[in-house]
Structure 1
């Protein structure tokens, strides 16, 4: 009789703010095909609209709403501890950066893909994400060369 073993798939927390960041993350979904993925975004109903499941809603924070930062830390930390991802990947913005910072503190691998909209300079969150990213990517070849980032092509 052949014995089969349960294989644990790589767990990925894929997190992005609503809007263009989320759309770019959705384009990357095929890269997570053989993974156990938890999607996280900042707008209720967005994951259903894109048929991205399982998914959770996390607090939307920005530099204009840092008063929400403690709640965002608790919410994202809870998801990290409950789901236990191997990798956290984000296309931005501040909630994704926060997830990378917290994940790195837990010894997780992290990936930041800066938004396609940032053609002239890396985003503010992206600049901060650099020190917490195992893989730091831009979608512009000239910007990659200038900033010493990785470039693998554009998502959109």
Structure 2
């Protein structure tokens, strides 16, 4: 009997964040990966994997994070991931914080769109995640994070 693969929770909001997460999928092959995003239609892109939908939240409306936090707790308790990877945005901070509290290793990959400076959510993630990376060497150097290269 082969050993069970460790569980990974891969998270991204819509649009470019989701596209970047999908480009990271080859790195997830040694994991039992479940995905989280905000659109039902994305489930077909990760067919064969567990997929969860969460509501959107905005840093301009802190109350909007409450439903996200409740969903995050439920998903984290069900999945029990060893690691969490996200390409953002703000609602994914709830998973980073709660997942870390539950013992998961956490990685925030700041969006390639942030070529001048790290995103606001990325700067918050620096305080919450085990590791934060930028896709731009200049931004990484300025922000004190690592650059592992571009996803896109």
Q: Same fold (TM over 0.5)?
A: yes
Q: Where do 4+ consecutive residues of structure 1 move more than 4 Å?
A: none
Task: Summarize deviations over 1:100-137 as a string: whole Å, max 9, x none.
Answer: 01111112110000000001110010000011111210
Q: Is residue 2:88 matched to residue 1:92?
A: yes
Residue in 2 that maps onto 1:153: 149
CA contact (8 A) 2:109 2:133 kept: yes
Q: What is the count of residue pairs matched by the alignment?
A: 151
Q: Is residue 2:71 matched to residue 1:70?
A: no
Give unmatched runs, 5+ long, in structure 2.
none
CA distance in 1, matches of 2:4, 2:145: 31
CA distance in 2, matches of 1:47, 1:96: 17
Q: CA RMSD in A?
A: 1.2
Q: Is residue 2:58 matched to residue 1:58?
A: no
TM-score, structure 2 normalization: 0.94
Bigger Rg, structure 1 or 2 = 1
Residue aligned with 1:45, SS: helix
CA distance in 2, matches of 1:34, 1:58: 25
